[in-house]
Amino acid sequence: MRCFIVGADTQAAARLGSVAADLGFTVSTLAAMDALRIDKQFLATPRALVLVADSSLAFEAADFAVQAAGQAFVVLVADTVVPEAYKALVRSGSGEWIQWGSCEVELAEVALGFSAPAHSDGGARVVSFLPSKGGVGNTTLVIEAAVHLSNRLANPRRGGARVAVLDLNLQGGTLADCLDVEPRFDIAEIVGRPERLDEQLIEVFTSRYANRLDIFASPMRASGAEEVGPGLIFTFIDAISARYDAILLDLPETWLAWTDTLIQGSDAVVVTGTTTVPALRRLSLRLAHVADLGVPEGKRAVAVNQVCTDLFGRFKRRPEIERVLDGHRLFFVRRDGSALEDASDSGRPLLESAPDSRVGRDIRRLATWIEGLVAGSAAAAKGGEADARETDPRKARGRQGIAA
């Protein structure tokens, strides 16, 4: 995400630059609107935020909002503004005025619109998998859902759905090892230099698992993810979005500066956890936070993983789990260490190595629900609802379920 700040007052520009950088934007500063019109970086940016830090430029800002509609959103930051200029800015549909006293809060709200994925014909749907703690099998569920989507989603324009998995465990997760591919997403290459990101470098970062499934996973590295700013993550997702129909994010357990914004910008969020009492507490806290971030109820689900079963294959402690997680869409995935270990050792996902296994069927129910959201298909969504009936506590009790 890129932000251009216009204004001759260096202190005002510096203040806005600091706020924009904290929100994940790559910042450029120019003295005048005319300079912005010919700026090469602006002209090459498909989506830009323009902050005008000078009330005397109000009419110019309104004119620019009209001329650059669709490419730029213009925000005039000033304590006062001429009414006619304000009306022209708002009527453009691509502009707004905010005051200095509330600029930090209001610019944060504007930033959410830039973090949301663009769903044109060339834009991908983004699904975040969020672990409630470590060791809950988050990466396994991401892999299995990605394989399902790449095999099932139809896209006549491309001859099949294109799916990417982005492993954001940037110190080196296990996703690439599970699929036996080389981790090539060395984000250190572009830290501090996001302008280096082009089609050629994206190709270098890409690990191809199958014809329609690509992996972006980091090699092991000693430094932490804290050095990776949110702007870099968002810029990378924007850059690869046009290549794919769906991007699945394997989020780390550790909460980072960009985690909240990624969740808010996702089309769906799957919170993963397990069944011990401490794990269910952590799961409940994660779910409450996701709800507080404003993720719609129909776009979030819970994958309760590694659930023990009885001799008849029924989930143990199910009533207790449903009671603790009441009101959430639940998908239960049984414990089957042998099948998952065999899949991991072979470098193949479970949905390929043992598609008819019971745990494979559990995972497919979750994957089918995601398919309905990603495809935007009523038929697929209906199928996901049917598969989820036995796992949705409200439907199990005969009450109306959530509309996807």
Q: How many CB atoms lie within 10 A of CB 90?
A: 14
The mean pLDDT value for 355-376 works out to 85
DSSP letter, residue 357: S
pLDDT > 90: percent of the chain: 35
Q: Judge if pTM exceeds 0.75.
A: no
Domain containing residue 94 = 2-115
The mean pLDDT value for 384-401 works out to 39
* 47 occurs within a structural domain: yes
Euclidean distance between CA atoms 26 and 8, whole angstroms? 19
Please check whether residues 69 and 193 belong to one and the same domain.
no
The mean pLDDT value for 24-38 works out to 89
Please check whether residues 185 and 329 belong to one and the same domain.
yes
Residue 339 pLDDT grade (very low, low, confident, very high; cuts 50, 70, 90): confident
* 403 occurs within a structural domain: no
Q: Which of 69-73, 95-99, 117-121, 376-380 has the highest mean pLDDT?
A: 95-99
pLDDT of amino acid 121: 46
Please check whether residues 152 and 96 belong to one and the same domain.
no
Please check whether residues 277 and 165 belong to one and the same domain.
yes
Euclidean distance between CA atoms 235 and 239, whole angstroms? 6
pLDDT of amino acid 383: 47
* 350 occurs within a structural domain: yes
pLDDT of amino acid 160: 52
* 190 occurs within a structural domain: yes
Contact status, residue 305 vs residue 315, Cβ threshold 8 Å: no
What torsion, rounded to 10 degrees, do the Cα atoms 199, 194, 19, 247 define?
40
The mean pLDDT value for 211-233 works out to 75
* 402 occurs within a structural domain: no
Q: Assess whether pLDDT exceeds 90 at residue 69.
A: no
pLDDT of amino acid 115: 53
DSSP letter, residue 99: -
Q: Where are the alpha helices (DSSP H) in 167-264?
A: 175-178, 199-205, 230-241, 259-264
* 103 occurs within a structural domain: yes
pLDDT digits (tens, 9 = 90+) for 150-206: 887 654 444 456 899 999 998 778 899 888 899 999 887 777 666 677 888 889 999
pLDDT of amino acid 136: 93
* Strand intervals (E) in 110-162: 125-131
The CATH code of the domain that includes 36 is: 3.40.50.2300
pLDDT of amino acid 92: 74
Euclidean distance between CA atoms 360 and 353, whole angstroms? 9
Q: Nearest to residue 328, comparing CAs of 306, 303, 308, 309?
A: 303
Please check whether residues 62 and 136 belong to one and the same domain.
no
Please check whether residues 174 and 242 belong to one and the same domain.
yes
Which tokens belong to 156?
């006549």
pLDDT of amino acid 392: 42
Q: Which residue has the higher pLDDT, 126 or 154?
A: 126
Contact status, residue 16 vs residue 104, Cβ threshold 8 Å: no
pLDDT digits (tens, 9 = 90+) for 273-324: 999 999 999 999 999 999 998 889 889 999 999 999 998 889 999 999 999 9
> What separation in angstroms does the CA of 129 have from each of 64, 95, 261?
39, 34, 14
Among 92, 115, 138, give the residue marking a domain's end. 115
Residue 394 pLDDT grade (very low, low, confident, very high; cuts 50, 70, 90): very low
Please check whether residues 154 and 44 belong to one and the same domain.
no
pLDDT of amino acid 377: 41
Backbone angle region of 159, left / alpha / beta, with phi > 0 → left and psi within -120 to 50 → alpha: left
* 120 occurs within a structural domain: no
pLDDT of amino acid 104: 87
pLDDT of amino acid 229: 65
DSSP three-state, residue 387: helix
pLDDT of amino acid 194: 66
Please check whether residues 392 and 255 belong to one and the same domain.
yes
Chain centroid to CA 52: how far?
Answer: 29
Please check whether residues 79 and 130 belong to one and the same domain.
no
* 401 occurs within a structural domain: no
Which tokens belong to 338?
């042998």
Among 88, 115, 142, give the residue marking a domain's end. 115
Contacts of 43 (CB under 8 A, 6+ apart): none
Q: Which residue has the higher pLDDT, 376 or 96?
A: 96
Contact status, residue 188 vs residue 221, Cβ threshold 8 Å: yes
The CATH code of the domain that includes 257 is: 3.40.50.300
Contacts of 231 (CB under 8 A, 6+ apart): 1, 21, 24, 25, 26, 194
Q: Which residue has the higher pLDDT, 386 or 348?
A: 348
pLDDT > 70: percent of the chain: 84
Please check whether residues 340 and 207 belong to one and the same domain.
yes
Number of domains making up the chain: 2
Average model confidence (pLDDT) for the chain?
Answer: 82
Please check whether residues 312 and 163 belong to one and the same domain.
yes
Residue 350 pLDDT grade (very low, low, confident, very high; cuts 50, 70, 90): confident
pLDDT of amino acid 393: 37
Please check whether residues 209 and 140 belong to one and the same domain.
yes
Among 115, 149, 184, give the residue marking a domain's end. 115
Of 103-117, 315-329, 330-344, 373-387, least confident by mean pLDDT is: 373-387
